[in-house]
Structure 1
Amino acid sequence: MLDRLAAAIDRHCVGPGSDTAVPRLLLVAVEEPIEPTDLLYEPMICFVASGTKRATAGEASQVARPGEMLLTTIDLPVTIELEHVPYQSAVMRFDDQALTEMLVELGETGQGAPLSAGGQVSAPMTPELVDAVTRWVQLLDTPEDIRPLATRIESEILYRLLRSSLGPVLRQWSPTDSATTRVREVARWICAHYTEPLSIDAIAAAAHMSPAGLHRHFKAATGMSPLRYQKHLRLQEARRRLVAGDATAAQIAQAVGYVSATQFNREYRSTYGLPPGQDAARLRTRLTLSRTGTTRRA
Structure 2
Amino acid sequence: MDTPAASLLETALRNMQPGGKTSGIPRIEVHVDQGQDSENACQYRAMACFILQGSKRVSFGDKVLRYEAGHYLVSALDLPLMGQVYSDARQRPYVALTLVLDPALLNELILAMPVAQDDEGSEPGLSTAPMTREIEDVLARALRLMDRPQDISILAPLVERELLYRLLSGQHGKLLRQIASAKGPLPKVRKAIGWIGQNFDRTFKVDDVGAACGMSRATLNRSFREITGLSPLQYQKQLRLLEARRLLISGDYNVSGAAFAVGYESSSQFSRDYLRQFEASPSQDLRRSGTLLPSRRAA
TM-score by length of 2: 0.88
- Conserved 8 A contact 2:145-2:156: yes
State the Cα deviation string for residues 48-98 of structure 1 (Å, max 9, x = none): 111121222112222222111111111112121335533211000111211
Kindly indicate whether the alpha-carbon contact (under 8 Å) linking 1:114 and 1:180 is maintained by their aligned counterparts in 2.
Answer: no
Q: 1:10-29 residue pairs with structure 2 within 5 A? A: 10-29=13-32
Q: 1:108 to 1:79 in 2, by over 3 A?
A: farther
**Structure 2 unaligned regions, length at least 5:** 292-299
Q: Residues of 2 paired with 1:188 and 1:129: CA distance?
A: 31
| Equivalent of residue 242 in structure 1, options 245, 248, 254 | 248
CA distance in 2, matches of 1:281, 1:114: 49
Which of the numbers 48, 51, 56 marks the counterpart of 1:53? Answer: 56
Q: For residues 266-298 of structure 1, what are the alpha-carbon distances to aligned partners after superposition, in whole Å with 9 as ceiling and x for unaligned?
A: 21122122321212323559xxxxxxxxxxxxx
Q: Is the 8 A contact 2:197 2:239 kept in 1?
A: yes
Q: Which runs of 5+ in 1 are unaligned?
A: 286-298
The answer as to whether partners of 1:112 and 1:167 remain within 8 angstroms in 2 is no
- Aligned: 1:282 with 2:285: no
Aligned mates of 1:174, 1:208 — CA distance in 2: 19
Provide the C-alpha distance between the structure 1 equivalents of 2:280 and 2:213, rounded to a whole number of angstroms: 37
Map 1:60-99 to 2 at 5 A: 60-85=63-88, 86-99=93-106
| 2:211 maps to 1:205 | yes
Task: For residue 56 of structure 1, give the secondary structure of its aligned residue in structure 2.
Answer: strand
Give the stretch that moved more between structures: 4-13 or 234-243.
Answer: 4-13
Question: Hey, what does 1:292 align to over in structure 2?
Answer: none
- The CA distance in 2 between the partners of 1:103 and 1:49, in whole Å, is 27
Deviation at 1:108, TM superposition (A): 4.0
Equivalents in 2 of 1:143, 1:219: separation in Å?
A: 43
Quick one: which amino acid aligns to residue 191 of structure 2?
E
Displacement of 1:218 in angstroms is: 0.8
Q: Which residue of 1 aligns with 2:237?
A: 231
Question: Which residue is equivalent to 1:160?
Answer: 166
Secondary structure (helix, strand or coil) at the match of 1:268 reads helix
What corresponds to 1:289 in structure 2?
Answer: none
Kept in 2: contact 1:114–1:172 (CA 8 A): no
How far apart, in 1, do the equivalents of 2:8 and 2:119 lie?
30
2:208 counterpart letter in structure 1? A
Distance 1:253 1:56, change over 3 A: same
Deviates more, 1:149-158 or 1:174-183: 174-183
Please, what is the CA RMSD of the aligned residues? 2.0
Higher alpha-carbon deviation: 88-97 or 29-38? 29-38
Aligned pairs for 1:31-42 within 5 A: 31-42=34-45
User: Equivalent of 2:155, from 127, 140, 149?
Assistant: 149
Verify: 1:270 aligned to 2:276, yes or no: yes
Please say if 1:106 is aligned against 2:113: yes
The answer to whether the 8 A contact 1:33-1:82 is kept is yes
Give the whole-Å Cα distance in 2 for the aligned partners of 1:202 and 1:107. 39
CA contact (8 A) 2:168 2:177 kept: yes
8 Å Cα contact 1:108-1:171 kept in structure 2: no
**In 1, Cα distance between the equivalents of 2:26 and 2:273?**
38
TM-score by length of 1: 0.88
**Residues 11 and 161 (structure 1), Cα distance of their counterparts in 2 relative to 1, 3 Å cut:** same
Q: CA deviation at 1:17?
A: 4.4
Distance apart, 1:254 and its partner CA: 1.8
Q: Distance in 2 between matches of 1:281 and 1:155?
A: 47
SS in 2 for 1:118: coil
Is the Cα contact below 8 Å between 1:115 and 1:169 reproduced in 2? no
How far apart are the structure 2 equivalents of 1:95 and 1:284? 40
SS at match of 2:25: coil
SS at match of 1:147: helix
Equivalent residue letter for 1:73: A
Distance 1:7 1:179 in 2: 42
Could you tell me the percent identity over the aligned residues? Answer: 34
